[in-house]
């Protein structure tokens, strides 16, 4: 007998009822996850369970549990009904909506209320609420939003109810595209980057403005200097700092009150207008284990939704705002907002890309690390260019005389030509293997991200680097330099020992696994 069948039998016999329903919910969850990944090899658990019920008294066998004296059993039964909804007939959907709505109206145990609403949210994806039900739930939501100071012992449950009300009511609302405009310069910005890139990013920012300082989680720049650093290529994304009041800093408790005293409302008004309805996702930057992190995020979501009074809705994807909260030593939080509608045209030339294309920020990082080595008016070639992103960023860093991009993949060459034209950079793209390429003039510089050889065996790697040594010798002019980004440092050094005409200059650490190796032709 399967786990599902055992749990179902216990449910019918009313044995270990709370554990049986909780177990059934877990089986349904695991089945759903397998189904979403395409790994489910049989009928999903919801259909199996519903089929068992149809032979054994129907959905009433679950509905009657909603009258059980144990509150947690009622809660799990309500959630189970929602999680089974995809398998139900329309007739049973209608019955369950009526029952859960009635139970919500009569339930006296506060922590059970959100479960009825969550069950309804599932069900209303199949069948809408009646106008009367929608009106009653909307009125309850208005009552909660009008509450002032909620007693601490009730706040958690009331906010959970409010969040669940928002969920079931929003299922009837149509998604409305919101318009965005950038805020004024009274909002400072935070530029995020990998930890290993922050020093380099700080150097880039300081070239544009002195109104910047390094924080543990990014580079903070005065809003008045924002326009000057918009084109800095190394940051990952830009966020706006929300300033709390000194009397009430941001924290997981009573966040709504702190938001009301901050400039968060001004940010929303300035960027979206006063009546905009926005979706958000919270990112919590704190050293919490997963279970605690999820619990704190859930609490924060409820506080933001309570503050928004129906204008803010937590979602997991396709959202308007990313809300980043950074835990500070004091125990308070720093709040930064990333509006996803804000345009980022730093790399607008990349209208299309390939999986093998070099990420633009990586290209910016490479040329930044090499800034003291790059010569003006150089004749440059990338023998493994892909779409040529590295050459485009190389030209931005220091003007060249001529650039060649080689690649064996035709689509990369086609897309590269489009990108170079969009970037207004002159690059000659050649659809050819580097070993067969010849030119009348030698090059003063080779710059390239070498192909990933992780899955190649030792013989194949050896062959590649023997050819690379020949290519380097043949393409470079005397005194010319090659910059190779790779994780195969030992192979590069072995190659240099074999090639009498090449010398090793130095290694620059790029990331955890790769370095830039600088070679010179004697």
Contact 59, 94 (CB under 8 A): no
Q: Along the 522 residues of the chain, how does pLDDT read in single tens digits?
A: 578 888 888 888 888 899 999 999 998 888 888 877 776 656 688 888 988 888 888 899 999 999 999 999 999 999 999 999 999 999 999 999 999 999 999 999 999 999 999 999 999 999 999 999 999 999 998 888 888 778 878 888 988 898 899 889 876 555 567 889 999 999 999 999 999 999 999 999 999 999 999 998 899 999 999 999 999 999 999 999 999 887 778 887 788 889 999 999 999 999 999 888 899 999 999 999 999 999 999 999 999 998 998 889 998 888 999 999 999 888 889 999 999 999 999 999 998 888 888 999 999 999 999 999 999 999 999 999 999 999 999 999 999 999 999 999 999 999 999 999 999 999 999 999 998 898 889 999 999 999 988 888 889 899 999 999 999 999 999 999 999 999 999 999 999 999 889 999 999 999 999 999 999 998
DSSP 132-159: HHHHHHHHHHHHHHT--S--HHHHHHHH
- What's the confidence (pLDDT) of residue 253? 77
Buried b (16+ CB within 10 A) or exposed e, 124-147: bebeebeeebeeebeebbeebbee
**CB-based contacts of 197-200 (< 8 A; 24+ apart in sequence):** 197/234, 197/365, 200/234, 200/365, 200/368, 200/369
Instruction: Specify the CATH number of the domain 3-170.
Output: 1.25.10
Could you tell me the fold of the domain covering 189-339? Answer: THUMP fold (3.30.2300)
Q: In angstroms, rounded to a whole number, what is the distance separating the alpha carbons of residues 264 and 244?
A: 8
Enter the tokens of residue 416: 């590269």
Compute φ and ψ for 107, nearest 5 degrees.
Answer: -70, 135
Q: In angstroms, rounded to a whole number, what is the distance separating the alpha carbons of residues 262 and 285?
A: 20
Q: Which residues pair with 248 in a beta bridge?
A: 245
Q: In angstroms, rounded to a whole number, what is the distance separating the alpha carbons of residues 486 and 4?
A: 52
DSSP 400-435: EEEEEEEES-HHHHHHHHHHHHHTT---EEEES-GG
Buried b (16+ CB within 10 A) or exposed e, 245-264: eeebbbbbeebbbbbebbbb
Q: In angstroms, rounded to a whole number, what is the distance separating the alpha carbons of residues 56 and 456?
A: 59
Cα separations in angstroms, 372 against 171, 368, 397, 497: 57, 8, 11, 26
Q: In angstroms, rounded to a whole number, what is the distance separating the alpha carbons of residues 411 and 183?
A: 40
Compute φ and ψ for 130, nearest 5 degrees.
Answer: -70, 160
Cα separations in angstroms, 114 against 22, 96, 103, 110, 160: 16, 16, 11, 8, 6
Q: In angstroms, rounded to a whole number, what is the distance separating the alpha carbons of residues 186 and 142?
A: 33
- What's the confidence (pLDDT) of residue 39? 66
- Of 356, 296, 324, nearest to 236 (Cα)? 324
Could you tell me the fold of the domain covering 360-521? Answer: Rossmann fold (3.40.50)
Instruction: Quote the DSSP letter at residue 483.
Output: E
What are the sequence ranges of the domains in the chain? Answer: 3-170, 189-339, 360-521
- What's the confidence (pLDDT) of residue 274? 82
Give the other-Cβ count within 10 Å of 396's Cβ. Answer: 15
Enter the tokens of residue 20: 């049986």
Compute φ and ψ for 354, nearest 5 degrees.
Answer: -115, 160
């Amino acid at each position: 007998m399967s786990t599902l069948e055992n749990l179902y039998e216990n449910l019918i016999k009313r044995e270990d009822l709370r554990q049986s329903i909780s177990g059934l919910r877990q089986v349904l969850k695991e089945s759903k996850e397998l189904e979403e990944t395409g790994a489910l090899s049989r009928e999903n658990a919801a259909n199996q369970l519903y089929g068992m019920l149809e032979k054994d008294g129907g959905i009433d066998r679950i509905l009657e549990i909603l009258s059980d004296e144990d509150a947690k059993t009622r809660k799990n039964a309500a959630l189970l009904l929602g999680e089974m909804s995809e398998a139900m007939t329309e007739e049973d959907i209608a019955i369950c909506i009526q029952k859960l709505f009635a139970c919500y109206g009569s339930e006296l145990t506060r922590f059970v209320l959100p479960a009825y609403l969550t069950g309804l949210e599932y069900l209303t994806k199949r069948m809408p609420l009646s106008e009367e039900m929608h009106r009653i739930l909307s009125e309850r939501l208005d009552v909660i939003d009008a509450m002032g100071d909620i007693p601490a012992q009730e706040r958690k449950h009331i906010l959970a109810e409010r969040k669940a009300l928002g969920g079931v009511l929003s299922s009837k609302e149509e998604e409305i595209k919101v318009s965005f405009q950038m805020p004024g310069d009274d909002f400072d910005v935070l530029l995020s980057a990998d930890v290993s890139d922050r020093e380099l990013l700080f150097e880039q920012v300081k070239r544009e403005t002195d109104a910047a300082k390094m924080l543990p989680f990014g580079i903070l720049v005065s809003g008045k200097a924002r326009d000057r650093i918009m084109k800095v290529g190394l940051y990952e994304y830009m966020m706006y700092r929300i300033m709390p009041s000194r009397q009430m800093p941001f924290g997981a408790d009573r966040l709504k009150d702190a938001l009301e005293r901050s400039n968060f409302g001004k940010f929303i008004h300035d960027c979206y207008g006063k009546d905009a309805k926005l979706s958000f996702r919270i990112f919590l930057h704190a050293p919490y284990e997963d279970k605690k992190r999820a619990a704190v995020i859930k609490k924060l979501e409820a506080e933001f939704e309570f503050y928004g009074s129906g204008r803010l809705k937590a979602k997991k994807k396709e959202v308007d705002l990313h809300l980043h909260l950074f835990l500070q030593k004091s125990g308070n939080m720093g709040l930064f907002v990333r509006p996803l509608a804000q345009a980022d045209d730093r790399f607008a030339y990349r209208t299309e890309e390939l999986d093998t294309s070099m990420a633009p920020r990586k290209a910016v990082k490479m040329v930044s690390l090499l800034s003291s080595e790059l010569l003006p008016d150089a004749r440059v070639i990338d023998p493994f260019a892909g779409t040529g992103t590295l050459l485009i960023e190389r030209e931005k860093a220091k003007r060249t005389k001529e650039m060649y991009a080689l690649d064996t993949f035709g689509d990369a060459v086609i897309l590269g030509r489009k990108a170079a034209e969009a970037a207004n950079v002159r690059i000659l793209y050649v659809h050819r293997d580097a070993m067969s390429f010849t030119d009348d003039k030698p090059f003063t510089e080779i710059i390239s991200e070498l192909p990933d050889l992780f899955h190649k065996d030792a013989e194949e790697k050896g062959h590649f680097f023997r050819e690379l040594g020949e290519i380097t010798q043949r393409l470079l002019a005397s005194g010319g330099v090659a910059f190779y980004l790779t994780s195969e440092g030992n192979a590069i050094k072995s190659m240099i020992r074999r090639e009498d005409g090449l010398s090793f200059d130095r290694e620059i650490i790029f990331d955890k696994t790769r370095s830039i190796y600088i070679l010179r032709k004697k």
